[in-house]
Structure 1
Amino acid sequence: MAYDENNIFARILRGEIPCKKVYEDDFALAFHDINPQAPVHVLVIPKGPYVSMADFTAHAPEELVVGFMRAVGKTADELGLVEPGYRTLANAGEHAHQEVPHLHIHIFGGKPLGPMLIKGWEGTI
């Protein structure tokens, strides 16, 4: 999946589309998802053109990688999710149903979330 400079997250970073901001620093922007899947559902995106975690960790400067990961933790803390807990998720590619070609980490919380995957898929770990 190639990076699209006009994807919705790139446009949010450029200020072309508004968002309900939760946290921002030099490395990341966190905002509420417009289609929440939990009582708390926030997206954290890095400030740079990265499609996936693999792309990000291979090409972003080290200070951006570290700053972005810290921003995810700070966002969860500011949302009051450290206790009782939360889930993070980053989809990458077609099989993971990545809809926007910009790395983003979902933070889910606000209720017990249940199992991460639905049981019954073909195969074993």
Structure 2
Amino acid sequence: MNHSATGDAVDETCVFCEIVAGRMPCDRVAEDATTLAFMDTDPGSDGHLLVIPKQHSADLLSVPAEDLVATTLAAQRIAKVLFAQLGAEGVNLLNCCGPAGWQTVFHFHLHVIPRYGDKSKDRLKLPFEPGMPSDADARAQYARLLSTAL
């Protein structure tokens, strides 16, 4: 693995680094100096794609701020096009961080997932039940703990 001062520049064992290097095929959607967007091979909906920084960072906790910003702005630009070109009725922007957070490829990436009322185009289901508020005391305790740490 090659390293740079801001993190891992390239990881030869990383499938996304191999895509950036052109050694593995992908269906490219957009590219600039910092980011690459390509179609997800296991999509949750029609048009589901990924946006990655070209520089390797394992996850949300290690991605440099400038790569995080560039990746998020590219995802936003693409999300707008999903509405116009694919007729998306909504969009989810998702990052999975760590195995417990559903991360399976350890190169920071954002899923840009168009959402549709037509379930033949959209196979995702909400992983939790909205409208089930948590305990107010527990929320206050988490808020105090986190705000103190920040």
Whether the TM-score (by the shorter chain) exceeds 0.5 is yes
Q: Does 1:116 align with 2:126?
A: yes
Three-state SS of the structure 2 residue aligned to 1:40 is coil
What is the identity, as a one-letter code, of the residue corresponding to 1:15?
A: G
Which position in structure 2 is the counterpart of 1:101? 106
Alpha-carbon RMSD:
2.7
Where relative contact order (Cα < 8 A, 6+ residues apart) is larger, the structure is 1
Question: Could you tell me which of 45, 50, 57 is aligned with 2:52?
Answer: 45
- Deviation per CA, 1:70-96, whole angstroms, max 9, x where unpaired? 111111123336963200110011101
What is the identity, as a one-letter code, of the residue corresponding to 2:22?
A: G
Which position in structure 1 is the counterpart of 2:68? 65
- Supply the distance in 1 between the matched residues of 2:68 and 2:94 (Cα, whole angstroms): 16
Three-state SS of the structure 1 residue aligned to 2:75 is helix
- Supply the distance in 1 between the matched residues of 2:114 and 2:42 (Cα, whole angstroms): 14
Question: Could you tell me which of 14, 21, 26 is aligned with 1:7?
Answer: 14
Q: What is the TM-score of this pair, normalised by structure 2?
A: 0.67
Identical amino acids, percent of aligned pairs: 30
- 1:29-44 paired onto structure 2 within 5 Å: 29-44=36-51
Return 5+ residue gaps in structure 1 as ranges.
none
- Deviation per CA, 1:37-57, whole angstroms, max 9, x where unpaired? 11221011111111111211x
Q: Does 1:86 align with 2:91?
A: yes
- Supply the distance in 2 between the matched residues of 1:108 and 1:45 (Cα, whole angstroms): 14
Three-state SS of the structure 1 residue aligned to 2:48 is strand
- Supply the distance in 2 between the matched residues of 1:17 and 1:83 (Cα, whole angstroms): 29
- Supply the distance in 1 between the matched residues of 2:97 and 2:12 (Cα, whole angstroms): 17
Q: Does the 8 Å CA contact 1:40/1:110 hold for their aligned counterparts?
A: no
- Deviation per CA, 1:70-125, whole angstroms, max 9, x where unpaired? 11111112333696320011001110121111011111114146763233xxxx46
Q: Does the 8 Å CA contact 1:5/1:49 hold for their aligned counterparts?
A: no
- Supply the distance in 1 between the matched residues of 2:113 and 2:46 (Cα, whole angstroms): 8
Return 5+ residue gaps in structure 2 as ranges.
1-7, 136-150
Q: Does the 8 Å CA contact 2:27/2:38 hold for their aligned counterparts?
A: yes
Higher Cα Rg: structure 1 or 2?
2
